[in-house]
Amino acid sequence: SQTIHQWPATLVQPVGSPLSLECTVEGTSNPNLYWYRQAAGRGLQLLFYSIGIDQISSEVPQNLSASRPQDRQFILSSKKLLLSDSGFYLCAWTTGLYNSPLHFGNGTRLTVT
């Protein structure tokens, strides 16, 4: 069966520090991968999605970036965090079929101080 791992679960970082969040998927190949963010009291905001290695699309301009160094690994990064980067970050995958649901990781709670 397929599983998705996301780490760390919680993170507290000072403003201006770098960020690296990792996500890996097991039990499937060539998944579509996604990074979402939830700010407090708000819905889901799609940040990045990837349909293959080195194929990454950005949905919103920001100081975050994403990389996919391996087929089932998706990394969210920042060189310098802002206070507004605080939130709950969710990684997700799907098979890419149009009727396929998204499968989410357990999320990372990021607090920028």
Partner 1 sequence: AQSVTQLGSHVSVSEGALVLLRCNYSSSVPPYLFWYVQYPNQGLQLLLKYTTGATLVKGINGFEAEFKKSETSFHLTKPSAHMSDAAEYFCAVSGDYQTGANNLFFGTGTRLTVIP
Which residue ranges make up the site for partner 1 (CB under 8 A)?
6, 32, 34, 42-44, 46, 49, 88, 90, 92, 94, 96-99, 101-107, 109
Cβ at position 41, least distance to partner 1 in Å? 9
- Smaller CB separation from partner 1, 28 or 32: 32
Check if the beta carbon of residue 18 is closer than 8 Å to that of residue 78: yes
Query: What are the counts of helices (DSSP H) followed by strands (DSSP E) for the chain?
Result: 0, 11
- Smaller CB separation from partner 1, 16 or 104: 104
Cβ at position 6, least distance to partner 1 in Å? 8
- Smaller CB separation from partner 1, 16 or 52: 52
Six-digit token string for 109:
């709670």
Six-digit token string for 70:
């391996």
Cβ at position 40, least distance to partner 1 in Å? 12
SS3 at position 2? coil
- Smaller CB separation from partner 1, 32 or 80: 32
What are the CA-CA distances from residue 10 to residues 6, 63, 105 (Å)? 10, 20, 13
Q: Rg (Cα) of the chain, in Å, rounded?
A: 13
